[in-house]
Amino acid sequence: MADGIEKLTEVPVEFFKDGSAFVKKCSKPDQKEYFKIIKAVGIGFIMMGIVGYAVKLIHIPIRYLIV
């Protein structure tokens, strides 16, 4: 039984050790790269949102007319 409990705590501890080691080893984006990506993704996301919202806007008069 004690063995089981030990194993139960062992898994998360091991996981945190591995995980933090992994994250440390990762190559991370530097600030310039990060801002570049944010700009690209941000523009894409907002464009998509605006298109989606435009379709949603069409719904407002339709809703008003039909309900």
Partner 1 sequence: MSTSSSSQAPGGLRNAVKRKSTADKKQQSQNATPLSTRSAGAGGSSSTMMKLFTDEAQGLRVDPLVVLFLAVGFIFSVIILHVFAKITGKFT
Partner 2 sequence: MAGFRLLDLVKFFLPILPEIEYPFEKISFDERIVYTVSCAVIFLFGQLPIYGLKKNAQFYIEDPFYNFRSIFSMQQGTLLEFGLLPVLTSGFIWQIAVGLRLINVNLGNRLDRELFQTGQKLTSFILAIIYTVIFIYVGYFDNVIKGYNPIEIGGNIPWGSYFLIGLQLCSWSWIITLLVEIFDKGYGFGSGSLCFLILESATNFIADLVGVEIYPLVNSNKFETYGASLNLIKNFKIFSPKETAFQIYHAFTRIQFPNLTQFYISLFSILVVIGLQNFRIEVPIRSTKMRGMNNIYPIKLLYCGALPLLFAYTIIANLKIFNYLFNFALSPYFPTLTFKLYGSRKVLNSTIISFAFSIIEAFAVIILSSWFANKWSFISGSSPRDISKQFKDQGISISGKRDVSITKEFNRIIPVASVSGAFIIAVVAVIGEFFGGLGKGVSVIVGVASAFGILEEFMIEYQQAGGSQFTNALSGFQ
CB of 67 to partner 1, least distance (A): 6
CA-closest candidate to residue 16, choices 24, 5, 6 = 24
Rounded CA separation 17/31 (Å): 27
Nearer to partner 1, 8 or 67 (CB): 67
Contact pattern for partner 1 over residues 5 through 44, marking x by CB under 8 A: ----------------------------------------
End-to-end CA distance of the chain: 65
d(CA 31, CA 33): 5
Query: Using CB under 8 A as the criterion, which residues of the chain lie in contact with partner 2 when the complex forms?
Result: 15, 18-20, 22-23, 25-29, 33-34, 37-38, 41-42, 44-46, 48-50, 52-53, 55-57, 59-60, 62-63, 67
